Structure 1
Amino acid sequence: MAVLASSTSVPVPVAVSFTPSAKFQIKKLSAHFRHQILSKCSITAQSGEPNKAKLELGTVKKRLWDAVPKPVKQFQWKKAENTLFERLLLLGKKALKWSLVTFFIFSSLSDVVFSISTNQELMIPFGLLVGCLLSDFSRETLNQLLPVTEGQGQGQDQERQLLSISCFFVLVKFVSACFAVKQRVFLLHVGNGGLLQALWPVMQVIENDKSSEENSNSTSNQNAT
């Protein structure tokens, strides 16, 4: 009996081969996934940075507040701020008063000289009269439109009205430069009359403030002695 040697065929592994287009797509997908992962990591890092900075700022603020002495913590800063603001307003109001009075004195003298040099002396009394009447009329109009509140703020409201009227007549004097000589002289003295009528009570208030300050200083010196 003849033995036939049967040869078994062993399968040979075939190497996996990709086309160039498939390789390019795989590289593209891997680069896309890598970009997404990096962007997510950067977003999480950036979102964590503000929280970390806030925590650090809060810690520093707490340490600084703990290092501040107790008298500084207990000091009434809001009251001091309000007091400083009131003092600055009072100082600005005084500066405005004195500047208006000084402007009235020097400008009225120069306006009289200008009127005499241009032979317009008759305009001086007429302009002053019109200015005084306009000042009284504007004051009454302001009292009707913006009535003065009775009480502690009554004097301040009246003084504010007088200062606003004075600023209006200062503007009239500046606007007079746009007119001819005759109209200019008339408007200059209208402004002088309005300033005189409005600043007269203000000057009385300044004198009263001076007298009250002198009385308070004298009483304080007597108490000290």
Structure 2
Amino acid sequence: MKLDQLIDKARKLWDSSPEPVKNFPWSKALDNFIQLILDLILFVIRYLAVPVFAVTSLSELSYCAHERKLVLVPLPVLFGVAIAGILKETALELSPRLKDAEVPWHLIVIAIFFTLIKLPGPYYPYWGRIFIPHFANGVLLRTIWFTILWYRRPKSLKMSDSS
């Protein structure tokens, strides 16, 4: 009942609004607003991802040192590094348009997915606390490296590929 009243009031407000308000390109303004929000989110992620990654990695390494399992850490990290390379190449094969994109969306998705796997690390069972976060660290480390390489690509390479 209240929703119908709200819709009726919105219609009356829209009908009584002046023509310049009705003719305003609201959909383009919404698109620009969404793009601005996405750019801000990417900016924050770009500058906070590495410090958060470093702090959480040190925490996980200190846990492994405390448990005297530090010698096992390189194995899941190397496995994660290999998986990150496979995932990146697979994403580029499945969608060749990603090679010309301005933003490396495939790398962002990989980073978000493995961050979500990494964050509940302290709540995994004993061996999971040792292997899973370090596997995710390997993937994230290589994804950060791929992102650095992505933004350091020569601009002329992008232009010549699209021609």
User: TM-score w.r.t. structure 1 length?
Assistant: 0.52
CA displacement, residues 112-165 of structure 1 (integer Å, 9 cap, x when unaligned)? 111111111112222211110111111222223x313168x5232xx1111111
Match of 2:108 in 1: 163
Shift of 1:204: 5.6
CA displacement, residues 41-83 of structure 1 (integer Å, 9 cap, x when unaligned)? xxxxxxxxxxxxxxxx59x945x42xx7x6x677544433322
In 2, are the aligned partners of 1:97 and 1:202 still within 8 Å (CA)? no
Q: Distance in 2 between matches of 1:122 and 1:84?
A: 49
Match of 1:154 in 2: 101
In 2, are the aligned partners of 1:123 and 1:189 still within 8 Å (CA)? no
Match of 1:178 among 121, 124, 128: 124
Aligned with 1:155: secondary structure?
Answer: coil
Q: Distance in 1 between matches of 2:129 and 2:98?
A: 40
Q: Distance in 2 between matches of 1:169 and 1:192?
A: 8
1:21-36 superposed matches below 5 A: none
Q: Distance in 2 between matches of 1:174 and 1:150?
A: 28
Match of 1:188 among 112, 125, 133: 133
Shift of 1:203: 4.5
Change (3 A) 1:150 1:203: closer
Identity across matched positions, percent: 24
Change (3 A) 1:105 1:165: same
RMSD of equivalent CA atoms: 3.1
Q: Distance in 1 between matches of 2:139 and 2:117?
A: 10
Unaligned runs of 5+ in 1: 1-56, 209-225
Aligned with 1:119: secondary structure?
Answer: coil
1:64-213 superposed matches below 5 A: 64-65=17-18, 76-144=25-93, 146-149=94-97, 154-156=101-103, 159-174=104-119, 176=121, 177-180=123-126, 182-203=127-148
Q: Which amino acid aligns with 1:125?
A: P
In 2, are the aligned partners of 1:172 and 1:188 still within 8 Å (CA)? yes
In 2, are the aligned partners of 1:97 and 1:163 still within 8 Å (CA)? no
In 2, are the aligned partners of 1:166 and 1:198 still within 8 Å (CA)? yes
In 1, are the aligned partners of 2:98 and 2:106 still within 8 Å (CA)? no
Shift of 1:190: 0.9
